[in-house]
């Protein structure tokens, strides 16, 4: 599974945090006092991660059953700017969007618009291989549908009807041979999004806003690269030829293809994301407890639920559009949650992923120290 692979690789990378002196020998960086949740030491710890791993910026947040315990953001909008990131900035969360799409399905099931067992064949009778007719939402959202993982049949579009583009994408992947077992698939989420659009006769983006974001008062949560509306926000970065290359959010290629929305195009603020996290900690009445239980329950022996990776300690998901990296964790007893994100991504996994995971580790330790 791609997400778990990146997670494990990143954990190994954390053991190599170091810096070089003038003679290029490797020496450990001096440790900081990690402190405890709510003191003044989170900022210096985050700033040390920036220094050690050379990422443009980093934001982090810890919640308990009583709400946000601490949140901070350090660094700059872009390596070509001096503007510092702040509490109200927007951050791209990549595939954490999948948990939101699954939550949307749960909401629509509760409202009687569809069933978890609604199949592709229930929605469309032709245009795809017969073997996909009985694939349902549970299979699509748990990556057990057999749909090919991540071969993108439709590229970037800056015009045209988004739902039609998404349908073209879905039909393309549904005409590829079906695979067996678990396979982490962005394409499966595109198909799920198309099914929702056909049932509800409106776009996935509008459905997300109407049924999830608006009820949670997530007023600063939207789609695409942060700042794509012209506002001043952090830019995503890619590491190329030994340096960070910022991506102008106005450029259509600064994010995933828009058709990929249900799998990973949401951006949000820390405060807005906290409202969503609280939903999954059982602190709202937007969804019923039994729906949350289903969303968080592992499907088969896949290690994956509906939009979430599952471990004995809790649920988590990572997210990246290859220009940002984020991770969200919620404890199994739903009393503790951590989130961290950087506006950068390096393919080799030596900077951005270790930076986020180190922030997660530090916040977890700080919370433990405060208990």
pLDDT digits (tens, 9 = 90+) for 185-240: 999 999 999 999 999 999 999 999 999 999 999 999 999 999 998 889 999 999 99
Q: What 8-state DSSP symbol labels residue 28?
A: P
Nearest alpha-carbon partner for 335 in 104, 70, 62: 62
pLDDT digits (tens, 9 = 90+) for 50-102: 999 999 999 999 999 999 999 999 999 999 999 999 999 999 999 999 999 99
Pick the residue with more confidence: 25 or 184? 184
Lowest mean pLDDT among 117-121, 186-190, 248-252: 248-252
Domain boundaries in the chain?
2-55+91-101+206-370, 107-202
CA distances from 315 to 26, 113, 276, 280, 348 (A): 36, 27, 14, 10, 25
pLDDT digits (tens, 9 = 90+) for 284-340: 999 999 999 999 999 999 999 999 999 999 999 999 999 999 999 999 999 999 999
| Mean confidence (pLDDT) of the chain | 90
């Amino acid at each position: 599974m791609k997400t778990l692979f990146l997670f494990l690789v990143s954990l190994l990378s954390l053991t190599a945090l170091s810096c070089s002196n003038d003679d290029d020998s490797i020496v450990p960086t001096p440790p900081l006092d990690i402190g405890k949740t709510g003191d003044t030491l989170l900022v210096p710890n985050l700033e040390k991660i920036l220094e050690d791993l050379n990422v443009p910026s980093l934001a982090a947040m810890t919640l308990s059953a009583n709400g946000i315990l601490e949140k901070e953001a350090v660094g700059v909008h872009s390596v070509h700017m001096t503007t510092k990131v702040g509490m109200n900035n927007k951050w791209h969360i990549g595939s954490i969007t999948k948990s939101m799409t699954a939550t949307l399905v749960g909401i629509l099931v509760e409202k009687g618009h569809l069933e978890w067992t609604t199949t592709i064949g229930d929605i469309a009778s032709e245009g795809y291989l017969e073997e996909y007719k009985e694939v349902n939402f549970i299979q699509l959202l748990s990556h057990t549908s057999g749909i090919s993982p991540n071969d993108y049949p439709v590229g970037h579009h800056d015009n045209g009807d988004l739902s039609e583009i998404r349908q073209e994408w879905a039909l393309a992947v549904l005409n590829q041979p079906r695979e067996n077992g678990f396979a982490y698939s962005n394409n499966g989420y595109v198909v799920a999004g198309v099914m929702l659009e056909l049932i509800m006769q409106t776009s996935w983006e509008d459905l997300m806003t109407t049924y999830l974001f608006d009820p949670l008062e997530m007023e600063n949560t939207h789609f695409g690269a942060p700042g794509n509306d012209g506002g001043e926000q952090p830019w995503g970065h890619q590491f190329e030829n030994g340096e960070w290359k910022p991506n102008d959010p106005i450029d259509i290629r600064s994010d995933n293809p828009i058709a990929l929305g249900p799998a990973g195009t949401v951006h949000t603020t820390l405060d807005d994301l906290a409202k969503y996290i609280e939903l999954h900690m059982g602190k709202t009445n937007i969804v019923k407890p039994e729906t949350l239980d289903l969303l968080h329950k592992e499907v088969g022996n896949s290690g994956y639920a509906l939009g979430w990776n599952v471990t004995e300690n809790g649920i988590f998901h990572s997210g990246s559009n290859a220009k940002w990296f984020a991770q969200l964790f919620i404890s199994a007893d739903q009393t503790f949650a951590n989130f961290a994100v950087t506006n950068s991504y390096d393919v080799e996994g030596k900077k951005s992923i270790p930076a986020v995971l180190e922030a997660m580790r530090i916040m977890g330790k700080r919370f433990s120290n405060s208990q």
